[in-house]
């Protein structure tokens, strides 16, 4: 089973979490891009990217930097809440 | 012992001819270069030669023949889809599959088993009714049956599912079948090869040449090859290949895992699928229980298999078939599934002239092998999309005309 050290939680198995999308910078303006491209287009090649992961039992959100080619987790940081920001 | 076998005892040089050509040298020009020697690529090569007389064709693969998703799927063939486009397409595939052993002069072990998609609640049953009505309208044999009918077809099934999520009924699709996936790829390779098509294994395409919006060839470690047309049939490597020609797509790569148990005596004659429990199971001709679950949750470009998969699968499987508790899992593996947002493939022409795409086969590619080959061959020969695949063109994402097929997907996503 795959484990990682999460801030605030300690060592937890990934099965306790669910992925909820990728942190991609939104384009300031769509420019040449059509709206449809922004909705559907994916850069699904092996790369490092930051993903949102949700921990159900504690209701905490994390930003996980993961390599989609090797499945290696590079960094994990908690999503800042309003009071901690 | 068959007489054919006995004959070989008396022949000194008894080797059967090779199944397909492996030419020592790669040519420098072909009419058509097909990237990917899986079922789809080889089927296209066969139909290019057989239907259109185009034999100056090379099929290139970075690895060995049929070693990608062709050899990793769970071999289920069905046509009980949800959209008119999907039903017509997959039903044409099923018709080709039925005669494929004869057409390819290769026994593909095509075996009609019947296919039950279980419903554990009212909303799943409603989708089953919807699918049954669409299917009947297009002449496909599908009907909704009650739980008792499932019990009669699948001995040992616990219809109460351990008391957690009882089976309420099922969508029954009588033509549902299994076949030997390697034999399909090898059969197509053999026939294409006989017609003069060259198959080059271990020949990776490292770049695709495009000049003035038109494809002109491919680059491999064995040299540059000029080509009038290039077909990409590379499943999980599609986004990486598209990046070489500057195209993008909505395709996302997720691993799909499967496993087989040790072989046992035949006891399950039919194919059982449960979308709610995220599992499906059939028994192979060798007696192994072939099982799969849902896609892995996160994008990954790797074919590693995981313990989470088998433990999760076993959890649901033992609810449904408690008698399988003593069976040992022999092998488990993963394939890279190229998923699309609407669960339909991406096929046909692209904005680059001469560059064709056969992709987006996610978890539904094996059953489409013959018809995808036939329609892609027609598309390449005529330079325009075959009528059967017009709805599947990459351009559908630009104008929001998606083909919603998610409700007909067997496995959880």
What is the arrangement of strands in the sheet containing B252-261, beginning at the earlier edge strand? B142-146, B169-173, B115-119, B271-274, B279-283, B289-295, B252-261, B329-339
For B267-285, write each residue's pLDDT tens digit.
999 999 998 899 999 999 9
| C-alpha R_g of chain A | 15
Q: What pLDDT sits at residue B19?
A: 84
φ/ψ of B364, rounded to 5, equals -130, 25
pTM of the model: 0.92
Question: What's A55's DSSP letter?
Answer: E
Which candidate in A42, A62, A63, A68 is best for mutational testing of the B interface (most B CBs within 10 A)?
A42
B-chain CB neighbours of A40 within 8 Å are 250, 341, 397
B306 in reach of chain A (CB within 8 A): yes
Minimal Cβ distance to A36: which of B240, B308, B397: B397
Please state, in angstroms and rounded to a whole number, the distance separating the CA atoms of residues B48 and B50.
6
CATH superfamily assigned to domain B112-175+252-337: D-Amino Acid Oxidase, subunit A, domain 2 (3.30.9.10)
**Domains in chain A: boundaries:** 1-8+44-85
Residue A49's alpha-carbon distances to A62, A66, B250, B299, in angstroms, are 13, 6, 17, 11
Tokens of residue A40, six digits = 């559907």
Q: Are A70 and B240 in contact (CB < 8 Å)?
A: no
**Domains in chain B: boundaries:** 26-73+182-251+342-408, 112-175+252-337
For B70-112, write each residue's pLDDT tens digit.
999 999 999 988 888 998 999 999 999 999 999 999 999 999 9
Please state, in angstroms and rounded to a whole number, the distance separating the CA atoms of residues A16 and B398.
37
Q: State yes or no: pLDDT of B65 exceeds 60.
A: yes
φ/ψ of B62, rounded to 5, equals -70, -25
What value of ipTM does the predicted structure carry?
0.90
φ/ψ of A5, rounded to 5, equals -90, 115
Contact B90, B367 (CB under 8 A): yes
Tokens of residue B120, six digits = 């554990």
Please state, in angstroms and rounded to a whole number, the distance separating the CA atoms of residues A65 and A53.
10
Same fold, B26-73+182-251+342-408 and B112-175+252-337: no
Q: What is the mean pLDDT of residues B34-48?
A: 98
Tokens of residue B219, six digits = 């680059």
* CATH topology assigned to domain B26-73+182-251+342-408: FAD/NAD(P)-binding domain (3.50.50)
**Top-confidence range, A1-5, A40-44, B268-272:** B268-272
Strands (E), B140-288: 142-146, 169-173, 177-178, 198-200, 207-211, 214-220, 223-232, 252-261, 271-274, 279-283
Q: State yes or no: pLDDT of B239 exceeds 60.
A: yes
Which candidate in B294, B299, B302 is best for mutational testing of the A interface (most A CBs within 10 A)?
B299
B412 in reach of chain A (CB within 8 A): no
Residue A37's alpha-carbon distances to B102, B316, B401, in angstroms, are 45, 38, 13
């Amino acid at each position: 089973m795959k484990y990682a050290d999460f801030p605030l939680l300690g060592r937890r198995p990934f099965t306790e979490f669910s992925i909820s999308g990728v942190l991609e910078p939104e384009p300031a303006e769509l420019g040449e891009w059509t709206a449809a491209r922004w909705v559907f287009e994916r850069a699904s090649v092996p790369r490092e990217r930051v993903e949102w992961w949700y921990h159900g039992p504690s209701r905490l959100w994390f930003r996980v930097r993961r390599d989609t080619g090797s499945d290696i987790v590079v960094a994990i940081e908690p999503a800042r809440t309003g009071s901690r920001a | 012992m068959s007489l054919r076998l006995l004959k070989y005892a008396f022949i000194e040089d008894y080797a059967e001819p090779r199944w397909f050509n492996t030419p020592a040298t790669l040519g420098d020009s072909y009419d058509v270069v097909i990237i990917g020697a899986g079922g789809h690529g080889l089927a296209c090569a066969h139909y290019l030669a057989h239907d259109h007389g185009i034999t100056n064709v090379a099929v290139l693969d970075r690895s060995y023949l049929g070693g990608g998703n062709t050899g990793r799927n769970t071999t289920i063939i069905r046509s009980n889809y949800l959209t008119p486009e999907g039903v017509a397409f997959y039903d044409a595939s099923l018709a080709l599959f039925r005669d494929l052993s004869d057409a390819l002069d290769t026994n593909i072990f095509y075996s009609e088993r019947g296919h039950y998609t279980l419903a554990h609640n009212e909303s799943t049953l409603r989708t089953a009714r919807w699918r049954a009505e669409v299917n009947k309208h297009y002449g496909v044999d599908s009907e909704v049956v009650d739980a008792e009918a499932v019990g009669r077809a699948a001995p040992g099934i616990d219809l109460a599912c351990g008391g957690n999520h009882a089976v309420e009924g099922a969508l029954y699709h009588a033509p549902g079948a299994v076949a030997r996936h390697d034999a399909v790829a090898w059969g197509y390779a053999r026939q294409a090869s006989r017609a003069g098509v060259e198959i080059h294994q271990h020949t990776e395409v490292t770049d695709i040449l495009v000049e003035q919006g038109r494809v002109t060839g491919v680059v491999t470690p064995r040299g540059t090859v000029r080509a009038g047309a290039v077909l990409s049939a590379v499943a999980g490597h599609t986004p990486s290949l598209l990046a070489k020609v500057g195209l993008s797509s909505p395709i996302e790569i997720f691993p799909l895992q499967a496993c087989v148990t040790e072989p046992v005596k035949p006891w399950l004659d039919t194919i059982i699928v449960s979308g709610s429990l995220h599992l499906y199971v059939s028994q192979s001709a060798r007696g192994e229980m072939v099982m799969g679950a849902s896609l892995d949750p996160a994008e990954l470009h790797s074919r590693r298999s995981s313990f989470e998969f088998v433990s999760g699968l076993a959890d649901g499987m033992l609810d449904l078939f408690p008698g399988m508790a003593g069976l040992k899992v022999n092998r488990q593996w993963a394939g890279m599934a190229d998923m699309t947002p609407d669960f339909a493939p991406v096929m046909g022409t692209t904005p680059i002239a001469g560059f064709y795409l056969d992709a987006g086969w996610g978890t539904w590619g094996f059953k489409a092998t013959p018809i995808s080959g036939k329609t892609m061959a027609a598309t390449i020969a005529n330079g325009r999309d075959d009528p059967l695949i017009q709805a599947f063109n990459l351009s559908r994402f630009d104008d929001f005309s998606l083909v919603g097929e998610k409700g007909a997907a067997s496995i959880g996503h």
